[in-house]
């Protein structure tokens, strides 16, 4: 029996992780659950407590923790009163480092996942990682701790899971290239979306993802290819591969989830349906594989065809910025990530700026980071750079909005 | 240094094996060479002796051996006189069991490869197998010996190499399906080649293979899908997988060389260029991979698209016969293989019969094998069944040719 703690149990990855656990009750136990603490979170986590009977639960918001405490005190859920309740960042850490936990699924969004994950690693918990910021912002730091404490870091992202699967049974020194596939997003077709038109694209244009529905932020990142850029940085850290050996190939059908090319020229690829339960399950069951439901099986005959294109770094400058930030390393990836998050979440998704303003804001913030840029940063350096980048991006975009132009941005 | 003996060093696989050895002289040595012994073989093997300085050489034909002996006696090739010369089936066995040999590449065509391969296994030599008959006709027997003597059997065929590569790092019990890809051959497109038209197809139609040039027999087998059927039988033996778990998918681009589906639904595939040096090199270097030349690398962007179709068992009955013969096991696969070889090589390639007569001849021979059919056959049973099937097929096809019809075939 493997005891799993889930940071972000009420989100998309969290609930799918619980579905995997539900299907394999003989193998896995949801020992710890944590969520942000909104009213929706509380409703859902009460259901989860009833079903999975975790030993520890945390709400990130103190208010949410109070509400949940009252519900549990009144024993409204018919569960043992021995459940440990915790709150705040401390609560997330309590869940991720809980004594009986074997593996932590980090499925919270944003940099809030970083500290509880690092703490879990220090407590020798294996990690199943769905949180992008952990590796994008603090990849050097996190991988050092992973190595030091000798824990397994399993990717949950379908691309990184595919790379991991394609590396099995091969020697790292034989690897010649990682090929990360990319759907291309809604602006893929240049005949419909030439460079100038992408500049002017709105929230509504960008939210039309051709292959599947995801949350707002990640859908915009898929449209700008920033999502792929973040994955390139993650792949660099996860597999210790130089950026020049990580290639992106546009593959609109998204059936091949990624590939590894070896020095003999042979390419190993992992293919599958679009169902996050598969990489989640693999991250929990590795090196075994477990059965999945009918939903897990791909029919290549029905798929019919797979196509491949070169990514367009001109129309999608965010992909280039990610490579640049990755190559520079240090605090730069955190700065790029923060600038992107602010531009997308606080401005573009609020209909305050156009699509073309996102890369411009990122570029400006990266270029302004100069003096504060730091190699080999400690955690506090990363958090400081993140904070600075957010402020800088806001100040720049506020000028752009006021002027309706970039001409007064220094 | 790994010492390699090559049975069939002057053929297509043999010369490509030597090219791999030439490119990795620090890793491999061609210690033994064997060929049939035609004048062309002798010219080529003299060159090979000069370049690779093997310690043992054999010619299958006694006449060829005599000729080579004279050339060596006159020291026309400037090579050490210590080279061991041998002839006949004994010669092939001498090469395959040569004391210093670590691995035998079985690249001769036809059932002549069977006995030297079995002898090599008994002498604890690893095998790299390009000879189809070894597993198709004597799969049960050969795999028993492989297990008993604990040697490695590496496939050279690109499909089986792809399966082998896709199985690395996974547990056999997690395997759910082997997916063998198939180019579909020149008669793939039903709108151009409906069932009736395939029946009437000639040697010239069938020799137009859409993807690459191969020898006559294998090209016809690719057109009838018998080649794929033989590969299904080989995969069954190599990977100990029931026939119901081996699927054929038509994939005209032949970029994905084959796939393995696991019980979680994940599919691992191996992709690459069409160059036999790659699976040959992998068979020699496994579990490592070695660098290959520029010829080894695939550009998926240039490939552009991969397509997949269901195989058509009605238009290509040979594929069904192979599954049937495989399921029956015993002497039946040898009977089917012999009937096919006679029908293709002695009749169809001589322009004596039409394409549709090939499956009819195979079907008739398989149906007539009834009483002589044997489960768990010994080597002599297999060779006897092979001989019987050849005679039977000839007698049937001679009637068809005389009558210009199947109506008098009992």
Mean predicted confidence (pLDDT) in A197-203: 95
Does B303 score more than 70 pLDDT? yes
Domains of chain A (ranges, CATH numbers):
2-155 (3.40.50.720), 160-303 (no CATH), 335-403 (1.10.1740.10)
Q: Is B301 on the interface with A (CB under 8 A)?
A: yes
CB atoms within 10 A of CB B162: 29
pLDDT at position B234 is 98
Spatial CA neighbour of A305 closest among B181, B179, B305, B254: B305
Q: Is B34 on the interface with A (CB under 8 A)?
A: no
Does A214 score more than 90 pLDDT? no
**Which residues 197-256 of chain A have a CB within 8 Å of chain B?**
249, 256
pLDDT digits (tens, 9 = 90+) for B316-341: 999 999 999 999 999 999 999 999 99
Mean predicted confidence (pLDDT) in B363-378: 95
* Distance (Å) from the alpha carbon of A54 to chain B's nearest alpha carbon: 26
pLDDT at position A274 is 93
Q: With bands split at pLDDT 50, 70 and 90, how would you rate the model's confidence at B94? A: very high
pLDDT at position B214 is 56
Does A79 score more than 80 pLDDT? no
**Which residues 269-298 of chain B have a CB within 8 Å of chain A?**
269-273, 278, 281-282, 285, 287-292, 295-298
B168, A170: Cβ pair inside 8 Å? yes
How high is the mean pLDDT of chain B? 94
Mean predicted confidence (pLDDT) in B199-213: 78
Query: What's the CA gap between A397 and B294, in Å, rounded?
Result: 48
* Distance (Å) from the alpha carbon of B396 to chain A's nearest alpha carbon: 38
Q: With bands split at pLDDT 50, 70 and 90, how would you rate the model's confidence at B367? A: very high
Q: Is B311 on the interface with A (CB under 8 A)?
A: no
| Contacts with A296 from chain B: Cβ below 8 Å | 264-266
Mean predicted confidence (pLDDT) in A313-334: 98
Task: Give the one of A270, A285, A308 whose C-beta lies nearest to B300's C-beta.
Answer: A308
CB atoms within 10 A of CB B299: 9
How high is the mean pLDDT of chain A? 94
pLDDT digits (tens, 9 = 90+) for A163-179: 999 999 999 999 999 99
B266, A282: Cβ pair inside 8 Å? yes
For B39, the token pair is 């004048």
Q: Which phi and psi angles does B95 have, rounded to 5°? A: -70, -45
* Distance (Å) from the alpha carbon of B23 to chain A's nearest alpha carbon: 12
pLDDT at position A394 is 98
| Contacts with A261 from chain B: Cβ below 8 Å | 297-298
Q: Is A310 on the interface with B (CB under 8 A)?
A: yes
Mean predicted confidence (pLDDT) in A388-405: 96
Q: Is A143 on the interface with B (CB under 8 A)?
A: no
Q: Is B402 on the interface with A (CB under 8 A)?
A: no
Q: A interface mutation test: which of B265, B281, B294 has the most A CBs within 10 A?
A: B265
Does B398 score more than 90 pLDDT? yes
**Cα A380–chain centre separation:** 21
- Beta pairing, strands B103-106 & B84-87: unpaired
| Contacts with B169 from chain A: Cβ below 8 Å | 167-170, 287
Chain A residue with minimum CA distance to B296:
A265
Query: What's the CA gap between B180 and B159, in Å, rounded?
Result: 7
Q: What is the DSSP letter of A32?
A: E
Q: Which of A221-225, A351-355, B73-77, B194-198 has the lowest mean pLDDT?
A: B73-77
Q: Which phi and psi angles does B256 have, rounded to 5°? A: -80, 115
Mean predicted confidence (pLDDT) in A370-377: 92
pLDDT digits (tens, 9 = 90+) for A331-368: 999 999 999 999 999 999 999 999 999 999 999 999 99
Contacts of B230 (CB under 8 A, 6+ apart): B132, B136, B221, B322, B337
Spatial CA neighbour of B346 closest among B396, B286, B279: B396
| CB A272 within 8 Å of CB A255 | yes
First-to-last alpha carbon distance for chain A, in angstroms, is: 58
A269, B265: Cβ pair inside 8 Å? no
Tell me, letter by letter, the H, E, C secondary structure of A324-338.
HHHHHCCCHHHHHHH
pLDDT at position B77 is 63
Does A295 score more than 60 pLDDT? yes
Q: B interface mutation test: which of A160, A165, A184, A265 has the most B CBs within 10 A?
A: A265
Mean predicted confidence (pLDDT) in A371-397: 96
* Distance (Å) from the alpha carbon of B355 to chain A's nearest alpha carbon: 28
Query: What's the CA gap between B367 and B102, in Å, rounded?
Result: 42
pLDDT at position B130 is 95
Q: With bands split at pLDDT 50, 70 and 90, how would you rate the model's confidence at B223? A: very high
Does B79 score more than 70 pLDDT? no
Mean predicted confidence (pLDDT) in A393-401: 97
A168, B171: Cβ pair inside 8 Å? no
Spatial CA neighbour of A199 closest among A5, A360, A404: A360
For B79, the token pair is 């090579």
pLDDT digits (tens, 9 = 90+) for B168-187: 999 999 999 999 999 999 99
Q: Is B168 on the interface with A (CB under 8 A)?
A: yes
pLDDT digits (tens, 9 = 90+) for B135-157: 999 999 999 999 999 999 999 99
pLDDT at position A150 is 98
User: CB pairs below 8 Å between A and B: how many?
Assistant: 150
Does A75 score more than 90 pLDDT? no
| CB A101 within 8 Å of CB A31 | yes
Does A71 score more than 80 pLDDT? yes
Q: B interface mutation test: which of A27, A270, A289, A310 has the most B CBs within 10 A?
A: A289
Kindly state the percentage of chain A with pLDDT values over 70.
Answer: 97
Q: Which of A207-211, A283-287, B382-386 has the lowest mean pLDDT?
A: A207-211
A297, B261: Cβ pair inside 8 Å? yes
CA angle in degrees (0–180, nearest 5) for A19-A20-A21: 90
Task: Give the one of B174, B278, B307 whose C-beta lies nearest to A265's C-beta.
Answer: B278
Q: With bands split at pLDDT 50, 70 and 90, how would you rate the model's confidence at B78? A: low
């Amino acid at each position: 029996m493997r005891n799993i703690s889930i940071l972000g149990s009420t989100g998309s990855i969290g609930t799918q992780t619980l579905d995997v656990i539900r299907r394999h009750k003989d193998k896995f136990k949801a020992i710890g659950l944590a969520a942000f603490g909104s009213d929706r979170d509380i409703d859902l986590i009460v259901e989860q407590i009833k079903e999975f009977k975790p030993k520890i639960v945390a709400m990130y918001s103190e208010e949410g923790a109070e509400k949940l405490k009252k519900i549990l005190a009144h024993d409204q859920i018919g569960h043992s009163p021995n459940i440990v309740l915790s709150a705040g960042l401390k609560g997330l850490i309590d869940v991720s480092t809980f004594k009986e936990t074997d593996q932590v699924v980090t499925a919270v969004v944003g940099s809030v996942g970083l500290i509880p994950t690092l703490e879990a690693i220090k407590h020798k918990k294996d990690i199943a990682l769905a949180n992008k910021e952990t590796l994008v912002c603090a990849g050097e730091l996190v991988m050092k701790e992973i190595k030091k404490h000798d824990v397994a870091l399993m990717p949950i992202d379908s691309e990184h899971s595919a790379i991991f699967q394609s590396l099995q049974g091969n020697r790292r020194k034989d690897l010649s290239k990682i090929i990360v596939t990319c759907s291309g997003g809604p602006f893929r077709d240049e005949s419909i979306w030439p460079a100038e038109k992408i500049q002017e694209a709105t929230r509504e244009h960008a939210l039309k993802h051709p292959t599947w529905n995801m949350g707002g932020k990640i859908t915009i990142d898929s449209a700008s290819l920033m999502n792929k850029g973040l994955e390139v940085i993650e792949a660099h850290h996860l597999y210790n591969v130089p950026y020049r050996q990580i290639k992106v190939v546009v593959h609109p059908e998204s059936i091949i989830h990624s590939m590894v090319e070896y020095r003999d020229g042979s390419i190993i690829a992992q293919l599958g349906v679009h169902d996050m339960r598969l990489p989640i399950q693999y991250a929990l069951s590795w090196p075994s594989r477990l059965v999945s439901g009918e939903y897990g099986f791909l029919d290549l005959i029905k798929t019919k065809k797979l196509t491949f294109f070169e990514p367009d770094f001109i129309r999608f400058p965010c992909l280039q910025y990610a490579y640049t930030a990755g190559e520079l390393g240090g605090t730069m990836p955190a700065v790029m990530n923060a600038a992107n998050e602010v531009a997308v979440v606080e401005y573009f998704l609020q209909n305050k700026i156009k699509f073309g303003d996102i890369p411009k804001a990122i570029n400006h913030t990266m270029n302004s980071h100069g003096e504060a840029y730091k190699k080999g940063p400690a955690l506090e350096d990363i958090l400081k750079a993140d904070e600075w980048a957010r402020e800088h991006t806001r100040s720049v975009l506020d000028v752009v909005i006021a002027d309706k132009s970039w001409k007064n941005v220094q």
